[in-house]
Amino acid sequence: MEPEVPTTVAAAATRNGDGRRPMLVVEGMQAGYGRKQVVFDVDLHVDAGEILGVLGHNGSGKSTTIRTILGLAKPFGGRITFDGKDTTGHGSRDNVRAGMAMIPSERFVFADMTVTDNLLLGGANDPDADRRARRMELVHELFPILVDRATQPAGTMSGGQQRMVSLGMALMASPKLLMLDEPSLGLAPAVVQQIFGTVRQLADTEGLAVVLLEQNVGQALKIVDRCAVMRSGRVILEETREQMLARESYWDLF
């Protein structure tokens, strides 16, 4: 029998044995485009330093969910709380300034700009020059190849290298919440492993809260703490990484 998703996610999010604070709480969210509703009564939560994997096929509502959280789409109903503040219906500009970041599955760099200019653009909203310099040092430490390719147009790099640039851009903004849409899409397994390992490192060392959207269950389960499975716009299951790994198969979930 599948465990039920908590009916009051805000209450569940505060019952952390390790004392981590809730960073994102989504309650009863409904969303879509125009008059077409594609997300129904979604409950999610992720704490600081935690990685939540949101799993499901194309069309399951994963991307619409994070677009609505970021403010690229208006919710039809429900409530979104970010870092203790109600952000329901807030626009993406305000949410980014508050500490949200999202990397889409495609078109995630400015192709004609150099690697360095892409990174600088990612930190453009931060007025603190010293903090921007420290973040640049962190990005270069995480992805040394970006130092070697500093003056190269980002669009001429490989898919994996562009993904590193996009992650670097997000980190330049000093986010508290990072949402990644299908980061393994079209990348070689070794590159995926490197990027996923970096995301896990950032959660552990920087306290970054991460929402990871993936179809690749095997790769996601290497780094996530918990999983929420979406189907037809609804969360049908929430389990810990250990519970998911104990399953003999995942076919019944998709």
Q: What is the CATH number of the domain that holds 247?
A: 3.40.50.300
Cα–Cα nearest to 65, from 50, 57, 75, 77: 75
In a domain, 202, yes or no: no
Domain of 91?
Answer: 1-14+24-99+175-182+209-254
Least trusted range by pLDDT, from 24-33, 82-91, 123-132: 123-132
User: What percent of the chain stands above pLDDT 70?
Assistant: 91
Average pLDDT of the residues in 118-135: 92
Q: How many domains does the chain have?
A: 1
Which tens digits make up the pLDDT trace of 173-229?
Answer: 999 999 999 998 888 888 899 999 999 999 999 999 999 999 889 889 999 999 999
Q: How far apart are CA 230 and CA 253, in angstroms?
A: 8
Domain membership flag for residue 135 = no
Q: Which helix (H) or strand (E) holds 133?
A: helix 129-142
If pLDDT is split at 50, 70 and 90, which confidence band does 20 have?
A: confident
Would the pLDDT of 78 be above 50?
yes
d(CA 48, CA 204): 9
**What's residue 18's pLDDT?**
57
223 bridge partner residues: none
Does 74 reside within a domain?
A: yes
For residue 147, being part of any structural domain is answered with no
Which structure tokens are listed for 224? 């996530």
Residue 188 in domain: no
d(CA 235, CA 230): 4
When pLDDT is averaged across residues 137-143 and rounded to a whole number, the result is 94
Q: What angle do CA 13, 14, 20 make, to 5 degrees?
A: 90
Q: Is 29 exposed, middle or buried (0-12, 13-18, 19+ CB in 10 A)?
A: buried
Does any domain span residue 216? yes
pLDDT of residue 106: 80
Is the model's pLDDT at 140 over the cut of 70? yes
Judged by phi (left if over 0) then psi (alpha if -120 to 50, else beta), residue 99 lies in left
Q: Which of the four pLDDT bands, split at 50, 70 and 90, describes residue 250?
A: confident
Q: 65 vs 78, 88, 155, 187, CA distance in Å? A: 12, 13, 28, 24
Q: Band the pLDDT of 19: cuts 50, 70, 90.
A: low
Contact by Cβ (8 Å): 55, 229:
yes
pLDDT value at 92 more than 50: yes
pLDDT at position 185, please?
85
Question: Distance between CA 149 and CA 206 in Å, rounded?
Answer: 25
Question: Sorting pLDDT into bands at 50, 70 and 90, what band is 6?
Answer: very low
Q: What is the mean pLDDT of the chain?
A: 90
- Token pair of 52 as six digits: 């939540």
Alpha carbons within 13 A on the beta-carbon side of 119: 29
* For residue 243, pLDDT beyond 70: yes
Residue type for 208, please? L
- pTM passes above 0.95: no
Q: What is the pLDDT of residue 8?
A: 39
Q: Does any domain span residue 140?
A: no
| 196: amino acid identity, one letter | F
Contact 87, 98 (CB under 8 A): yes
pLDDT at 9 over 50: no
Residue 162 placed within a domain: no
Structure tokens given for 47: 């704490």
With 60 as the cut, is the pLDDT of residue 251 above it? yes
